[in-house]
Every structure is written in C-alpha cells, then in structure tokens.
Amino acid sequence: MKLIETVNAVGHVLCHDLTRIVPGVTKDAAFRKGHIVTEEDIPMLLSMGKEHLYVWEKTEGVLHENEAAERLRAICQNANMSSTPVKEGKIELIADIDGLFRVDVARLNAINALDEVMIATRHTNTTVRRGDKLAGTRVIPLVVDEARVAAAEAAAGETPLLELLPYRRRTAAIVTTGNEVFLGRIEDAFTPVLIQKLAAFGVEAVSQVKVPDERGKIVAAVSAARAAGAELILCTGGMSVDPDDQTPGAIKATGARIVSYGAPVLPGAMFLLGYFEDGTPIMGLPGCVMYAKATVFDLILPRVLADVGVTRADLSALGHGGLCLGCGECRYPVCPFGKGD
C-alpha cells in the first residue's frame, strides 16, 4: 500500500472503499476497494475531498483480483458461452445457445483444492437455455500471487473445463410395441409423451409405427426407420420380464451394439441404450417413461442428442443421484435427480 496524490492516481488500484455523501441524495461507496482509477474518476474524487489516496502498488509476480479472474475465466470458457465484464474480481459465464452443459469435474476439483482461487459451476450434463448462468469465478483476496493462478492453469491443462454442446440430432423414429396397442385394445399413450419430450429439444418425430410383440416385426420396423434416415430410434414397451416382452431381444437382433440393458436409475431400471455402426442411437424405453414425470430417458436424451457417446461407465455413474424422490409436484430438472455424476 502506498499514499499518492489523487491527480496521479490513474491506473492505480484503491485499497479501500470511498464513501460519497450528498445530503438527502446519497450515502454510499462511490468507489469500491479494488477499483482501478480512471481519468474520469479524478474530478469526482476531488469533489469528495480526496486529495490523496491509498493505492495498491503493482509489484512483479502479484496479480490484481480482476487480472486473476480473467485468467480463471480463460481456464473455463469454451465455444458457445460468453463472459460478463469483470466486476470486483468476479466473472460469470453465460450460455450463448440452448444445449448440454458439461464440466470436467475431476479438473474442477483439482483447481478448487488450491487456496485463494475458486470456480463454481452448474452440475455437469445438465440442459441449459440461452442466457442461463453457467459458472462464476474469482480469487479470494484482493491481490494474489501469480504463482497461485499459474498452478490453477497447470491443474486445468490445455482444454477448457467447460463445454456447451448444441443438440445435433433433429429427427426421431418411434417403434411402439405391444399387442394391446397394436390390436387397438388400448390407446397409445406413450407416443404423445415422447413427441412432447423430443419437441423440447427441437427434435421432430418423423415416423411412428405400431408393432405386435414379435421379435421379427420389431426388427423390421427398426430397419425401416434406419433406412428412412432417422437420427434416433426409440422403441417403447415390452422391456421387462414378461414372456411377451420381446423388445430387448429384438434390438439386439437388429445388430446394434448394446451399451447396456439396465440402468441404475429409478424410474428407468429396464432402459436399454445401443448404437449402430454409423453412430445412430437406439433406445428401448420401459413403461415408466410414459408414466413418470422424470426418468432415465430425461437424463440420457440430451446427451444422445448432443452426440456425446454415452458409455457403460456413464450409465453406471447414474446410480448416485439416480433415485427420483417422486415429489407431489415434480420440479425436475431443479432437483437432485440425476445430479450425482
């Protein structure tokens, strides 16, 4: 800290708040600790009776909180996000598009384990809308050793911590299984649910066929959907253990690589995910997806649409936080469901 004349203060950083009082009008800090004095500030400072100021001396190897925040921002920021201007050492990142938000949690934790720096984010693998806040970062003290920020950069490595991915798949084909629906014994209540859930991501259901619980018929319907170029194939019903449940076997018989039949999520235990050789995803959706407000389908659909290759390990990790609490009024996604990985 050093004492200087206000007229020489441009570019220097204030060490404390400066309060301005105009009777009946204001009594507030006109300048905050950490503010960098500009040419325009000088008349105001003089009008407040501040002929001299305590300022922070810029020394080699020490960063002001604003400079440090910019460096932490650079560790985080990636395509499709923008940053707010730095204010009192804090920067926030904002979504430029609707998309799937992802965080490299291991690297985030490594950085936050360091003293004097912090980065706070939304949960990884969550959906965001354009304009949503994604992350905020700052350093804890007003000034920080550059070595501390360099350590955070080293822990971060080459690629940004955050990703915001657009939804790339635009079309889906629905294959509705079940004799009771095929024969018209009951109305198809599954398809309207899927159309609505897909539309929320801008995905159009381009075809829908009803087939009986016969493996060959299901395989043929999936093949037709593939030939028509559907970018995602959804088979509904027949996913559990009854003798009439033919859907998992049929999906296997289509030649799709099965990532998993079964997921550690409730509702959604009987879920199936697979991929064809060209990358087209196929899912087997159990009855709960039609019935429950939020299920494994809501957790995995955004990742599949954003073309994040979902692995068996990704599905296994859903167990922690994968228990829907079945609240009277469903507030998903603003709830703990699916926030464990």
Ligand X SMILES: Nc1nc2c(c(=O)[nH]1)N[C@H]1C(S)=C(S)[C@@H](COP(=O)(O)OP(=O)(O)OC[C@H]3O[C@@H](n4cnc5c(N)ncnc54)[C@H](O)[C@@H]3O)O[C@H]1N2
State yes or no: residue 268 binds ligand MOO (CB under 6 A).
yes
Three-state DSSP state, 69: helix
Half-sphere exposure of residue 50: CA atoms within 13 angstroms, side-chain side: 25
Contact by Cβ (8 Å): 120, 136: yes
* Three-class DSSP category at 116: coil
Which partner from the list ligand X, ligand MOO, none does 241 bind, CB cut-off 5 to 8 Å by kind? ligand X
Report H helices in 17-159.
41-47, 65-76, 105-112, 146-156
Q: Which stretch binds ligand MOO (CB under 6 A): 62-70, 125-133, 180-188, 268-276?
A: 268-276
| 53 near ligand MOO, rule: CB under 6 A | no
Q: Is 241 in the site for ligand X (CB under 6 A)?
A: yes
Question: In whole angstroms, how close is the CB of 213 to ligand MOO at the nearest point?
Answer: 17
Alpha-carbon span 95 to 133, nearest angstrom: 6
Look at the chain and count its residues. Answer: 341
What is the nearest approach in angstroms of ligand X to the Cβ of residue 335?
Answer: 20
Q: Give the span between the Cα atoms of 338 and 137, in whole angstroms.
A: 25
Identify the residue among 94, 195, 209, 266 touching ligand MOO (CB under 6 A).
266
- 34 interacts with ligand MOO by CB under 6 A: no
What is d(CA 207, CA 225) in angstroms, rounded to the nearest whole number?
Answer: 8
3-class SS shares of the chain: helix, strand, coil, % to 5: 30, 30, 45
Q: In this structure, what token pair is assigned to residue 336?
A: 């703990």
Per DSSP, 123 falls in state: P
Q: According to DSSP H, which parts of the chain are helical?
A: 41-47, 65-76, 105-112, 146-156, 179-182, 190-199, 215-227, 247-253, 288-291, 296-305, 312-316
Is 234 a residue that touches ligand X (CB under 6 A)? no
- One residue of 91, 164, 288, 306 binding ligand MOO per CB under 6 A: 288
- 280, amino acid identity: T
Spatial CA neighbour of 155 closest among 120, 105, 121: 105
Q: How large is the greatest C-alpha to C-alpha distance in the chain, in angstroms?
A: 89
Q: Interacting stretch for ligand X, rule CB under 6 A, among 139-147, 241-249, 301-309, 323-331?
A: 241-249
Residue closer to ligand X, measured from CB, 96 or 180: 180
Task: Please state the closest distance from residue 181 (CB atom) to ligand X, in A.
Answer: 5
44 binds ligand MOO, rule: CB under 6 A = no
Instruction: Report the nearest approach of ligand X to the CB of residue 182 (Å).
Output: 9
Helix 65-76 to helix 146-156 angle (10° resolution) is: 0
Site string for ligand X, 132-171 (x = CB under 6 A): ----------------------------------------
- With binding defined as CB under 6 A, does residue 97 bind ligand MOO? no
Question: Among residues 288, 299, 304, 306, which is the contact residue for ligand X, using CB under 6 A?
Answer: 288
Nearer to ligand MOO, 203 or 288 (CB): 288
- Write the interaction track for ligand X spanning residues 61-100; mark x where CB under 6 A is met and - where it is not: ----------------------------------------
Binding test (CB under 6 A) with ligand X, winner from 94, 224, 269, 317? 269
Binding ligand MOO (rule: CB under 6 A), the pick from 248, 267, 284, 302 is: 267
Quick check: 296 binds ligand X (CB under 6 A)? Answer: no
Q: Cα-flanking dihedrals φ and ψ of residue 191, to 5°?
A: -60, -45
286 forms part of the interface with ligand MOO (CB under 6 A)? yes
The site for ligand X (CB under 6 A) is made up of 176, 178, 180-181, 186, 188-190, 236-242, 245, 269-270, 286-288, 290
Residues that bind ligand MOO in the complex, under the rule CB under 6 A:
266-270, 286, 288
